[in-house]
Structure formats: C-alpha cells, structure tokens
Amino acid sequence: MTSCAHSFDLHGLLQPVSPVVLSVPHAGRDYPGALLRAIRVPVEALRALEDRYVDHLALAARSDESLLVQRPARAWIDLNRAEHERDPKLDDGADPARQPAMSAKLRSGLGLVPRRIAAAGDIWSARLSDAAVTARIMADHRPYHDTLAALLGAARARFGVAVLLDIHSMPSLGDSADTPQIVFGDRFGKTAASRFIDRLAGEAEAAGIGHALNTPYAGGHILDRHAAPRMGIHAIQIEFDRSLYLDDGHDAPGTGFTAAAAMLRRMIAAINDEALAGLTAIAAE
C-alpha cells in the first residue's frame, strides 16, 4: 500500500510488519514554484544535491517493509539537518544562541535550507524570511520526522526491536580497486549495535563491493534524532556509490541497477533476520 501525506510518500503500513524501517530523505525531485521563483541558479544545478533516483533503488529492494520517501527536493529543505541548523547567511530566523558551534556542513552552506552548491555558488537570489523557513519546517520537515518516529515506535512495540536503514547515495570516492562503493554510518558506534553493521558488511563483501564505516559519511540528524539502541531502536545510514546503479551520466537508472537493488534487498533481509534472531537469543537465556 502507498499513501501520501504532507510532502512524503509512505509505502507500507503505519503499523510495520517488519522490524526494519526504510527512509529516503534526499531523493526528492519536486521543485516547488516558490523555490523556482526565488533561485538565482538554473534548477538543473540543484540536482547535485539530490540522491539521484535512490528512491527507485529502495522501492525495487523493498518487500513489505515500511518506507518513507520525501518528495520535495533537498534544496527546499534538508531532512538530515536539525530544525535549529539554520544558516545566518541566508535565513532571518537563524538563532546563533541555539548553535554556538556551527557544524562544518552549516558553515559550508549545507544547513537546514542549503545556501550554496560548490559547482554553482549561492542558490538563492535573496535572504529567506523566518516565516518562510518556519513554514517549510512545519509542512515538510516535522511531519516526516514525526511519522518516522511513529513507525520506529510501532515496530519496537511489535517486535521488541526496530532498525532504521536511512538510504542515501554518494559521488564516487575514487577509482582505485580498493575504493569503497558503500559507506555505512552509525555515528561511530552510537546509533546501532555492531552486529547489524557486521551483517551489512557481510552482504557487501559477498557481492564483491568494497565498503567503509563512518568515513567519510557517519550519518547525520536522522540517526541522531531517531536512534536509541538502549531502547531497542537502532539506526544506520547507507551510502551507495551512484555508479553502482545509475547510468554513465548519473542521470537515470543504469545497467547496474538490478544488481544493486538485489544487494540492498539482501541487506534488508539480513537486518530483519538479525533483529529477530537477537530477540530469540534473549528469550532463550
């Protein structure tokens, strides 16, 4: 079942039938009219912020797991930033008191509303009002996170454990034979039990795909906000090299798409198996 609420699509049920919950926050391709009227760069330049078609990858890999997919583009609002990560160089509602030490991402212009893109420069033709950004938070950011929290809570209540797989894509990290093409992030061990990382790494190795942990992507606000391993809610970010599933122009699904989707399916199944096996082991003690 697919349902639409606010600015995201929910595939599956609000009462999950698996302990695994999937999230795709950066693949949105909806560019609102208000954005198109306010930018100073061609809209095509904003695609550099997209996790291009990784939602198609997640949908192809999904079985009956509950999956959230954001529709508005990341340029409109970034769900992997906290509500207070507002850029004082862009946003009239930015409150320095709430962010005394700005993150490197925010300093570089990749805050709650991205300010600039490396290849194109500043995105917006004018500053954004507090009211405009607050409206995006209320309409887009908060509903997604509230729904994701509800899904994880329902999965935890039903199965005794929940595991969020937050699915992203990344540019290639290099062209040497040992360059990782998948990066797992668990905030340096803070957001998931190591047994889940081990199962994901095992599936990558079985597919002959190089992988890394937390370098250069350790995960962001989504993991920080939703993970609570001591309460049985684990969260892992997965970054796929776009060359694994896109065409040579990185603009559409390519010849590797089917194999990449099958590998992600095996990863999801392995995490489901590990989650339920862990509960069986606890019950047997």
Cβ of 182: how many Cβ atoms within 10 Å? 24
Q: What is the pLDDT along the chain (285 residues), one digit of tens a residue?
A: 565 556 999 999 999 999 999 999 999 999 999 999 999 999 999 999 999 999 999 999 999 999 999 999 999 999 999 999 999 999 999 988 877 678 889 989 999 999 999 889 999 999 999 999 999 999 999 999 999 999 999 999 999 999 999 999 999 999 888 899 999 999 999 999 999 999 999 999 999 999 999 999 999 999 999 999 999 999 999 999 999 999 999 999 999 999 999 999 999 999 999 999 966 555 544
What string of DSSP letters covers 161-215?
Answer: -EEEEEEEEE----SSTT--SEEEE-TTTTSS-HHHHHHHHHHHHHTT--EEESS
Q: For 191-240, what is each residue's pLDDT tens digit?
A: 999 999 999 999 999 999 999 999 999 999 999 999 999 999 999 999 99
Distance CA 116, CA 136 (A): 18
Distance CA 114, CA 99 (A): 16
Distance CA 155, CA 284 (A): 21
Asked if 256 contacts 262 with a C-beta cutoff of 8 angstroms, the reply is no
Domains of the chain: residue spans and CATH = 2-30+51-77+139-284 (3.40.630.40)
Against a cut of 0.85, is the pTM above it? yes
Locate tokens 């890394």: which residue?
A: 212
Distance CA 204, CA 259 (A): 12
What pLDDT does residue 99 have? 74
What pLDDT does residue 5 have? 57
What pLDDT does residue 17 have? 97
Q: For 66-99, what is each residue's pLDDT tens digit?
A: 999 999 999 999 999 999 999 999 999 998 887 7
By percentage, how much of the chain surpasses pLDDT 70? 95
